């Protein structure tokens, strides 16, 4: 398997790739493959072997689940610059969730063997992984706290702001190609609420909503909107 120049550059400039030695980087680059998925296509299914650690070179994917009743629930959205799947690769367990592309996306596939080799070889990689797991933990703890103490509208704003976590997703652009329905799946709320919230945010000049996409105009204002009245 050979990856193209852009994927190699993506790895080299990633938070963990920067810490590798030249030889380590070269080995990872040569062992990493690339996958392009169209919107709606599944990257990996629940129950499959965890053969890769994934990086989002470009696009947007979601980690989701379908309930027994057939309802879709999303856990997280992962935009460009994000890495995911390390949990199951670390434990060598079957994939616990589906990963689906929300728009055409290009992924970097680091084989599990390469991942484990890095784990046993590179100190900077281990440091990155601790930071990554810590950031992921914080993401869910903060979301839970926020979900319990905030209004539905602020919760939606918070879930949008999550996609702009600079540590987890260094490459996120201000334009987000995502439908209101998918935002609703991510936030675990109704589409109507998402619709209303987007109108509020648009009135406040925080973002621009258009057919199939959002443009964030002021990420600070989005975060501020999400945490209004947090002191209680």
Partner DNA sequence: TCATTAAATTGTT
Partner DNA sequence: AACAATTTAATGA
Distance CA 28, CA 137 (A): 26
Residue 66 or 130 with smaller CB distance to DNA: 66
Name the nearest CA neighbour of 111 among 23, 12, 35, 20: 35
Tell me: does residue 180 bind DNA (CB under 7 A).
yes
The CB-of-14 to DNA minimum distance in angstroms stands at 29
Residue 195 or 217 with smaller CB distance to DNA: 195
> Which contacts qualify for 132-139: CB closer than 8 Å, 24 or more apart?
132/83, 132/86, 132/168, 133/86, 133/87, 135/165, 135/167, 135/168, 136/168, 139/76, 139/165, 139/168
Of how many residues is the chain composed?
232
Burial class (CB in 10 A: 0-12, 13-18, 19+), 176: buried
Build a one-symbol-per-residue string for 134-173: x at contacts with DNA by CB under 7 A, - elsewhere: ----------------------------------------
Distance CA 16, CA 221 (A): 30
The CB-of-36 to DNA minimum distance in angstroms stands at 16
Residue 149 or 179 with smaller CB distance to DNA: 179
Tell me: does residue 42 bind DNA (CB under 7 A).
no
The CB-of-71 to DNA minimum distance in angstroms stands at 8
Residue 35 or 198 with smaller CB distance to DNA: 198
In the numeric block, the tokens 């998402």 are attached to: 194
Build a one-symbol-per-residue string for 12-41: x at contacts with DNA by CB under 7 A, - elsewhere: ------------------------------
Residue 109 or 187 with smaller CB distance to DNA: 187
The CB-of-212 to DNA minimum distance in angstroms stands at 4
Distance CA 39, CA 55 (A): 17
* 175-176 β-sheet, strand order: 175-176, 213-216, 207-210
Size of interface with DNA, in residues (CB under 7 A): 14
Residue 205 or 212 with smaller CB distance to DNA: 212
Build a one-symbol-per-residue string for 185-224: x at contacts with DNA by CB under 7 A, - elsewhere: -----xxx--x--xx---------xxxxx-----------
Tokens of 177: 């190609």
Residue 123 or 211 with smaller CB distance to DNA: 211
Using CB under 7 A, list all residues that contact DNA.
Answer: 179-181, 190-192, 195, 198-199, 209-213
């Amino acid at each position: 398997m050979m990856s193209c120049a852009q994927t190699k550059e993506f790895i080299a400039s990633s938070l963990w790739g920067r810490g590798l030695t030249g030889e380590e980087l070269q080995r990872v680059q040569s062992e990493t493959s690339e996958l392009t998925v169209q919107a709606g296509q599944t990257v990996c299914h629940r129950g499959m072997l965890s053969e890769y650690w994934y990086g989002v070179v470009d696009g947007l994917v979601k980690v989701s689940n379908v309930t027994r009743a057939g309802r879709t629930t999303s856990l997280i959205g992962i935009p460009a610059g994000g890495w995911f799947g390390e949990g199951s690769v670390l434990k060598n367990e079957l994939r616990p969730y589906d990963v689906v592309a929300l728009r055409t996306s290009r992924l970097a596939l680091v084989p599990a063997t390469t991942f484990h080799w890095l784990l046993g070889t590179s100190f900077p990689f281990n440091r990155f992984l601790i930071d990554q797991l810590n950031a992921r933990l914080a993401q869910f703890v903060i979301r839970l706290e926020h979900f319990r103490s905030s209004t539905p509208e602020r919760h939606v704003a918070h879930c949008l702001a999550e996609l702009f976590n600079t540590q987890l997703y260094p490459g996120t652009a201000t334009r987000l190609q995502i439908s209101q329905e998918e935002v609703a799946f991510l936030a675990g709320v109704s589409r109507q609420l998402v619709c209303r919230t987007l109108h509020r945010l648009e009135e406040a000049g925080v973002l621009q909503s258009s057919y199939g996409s959002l443009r964030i105009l002021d990420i600070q204002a989005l975060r501020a909107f999400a945490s209004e009245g947090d002191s209680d």
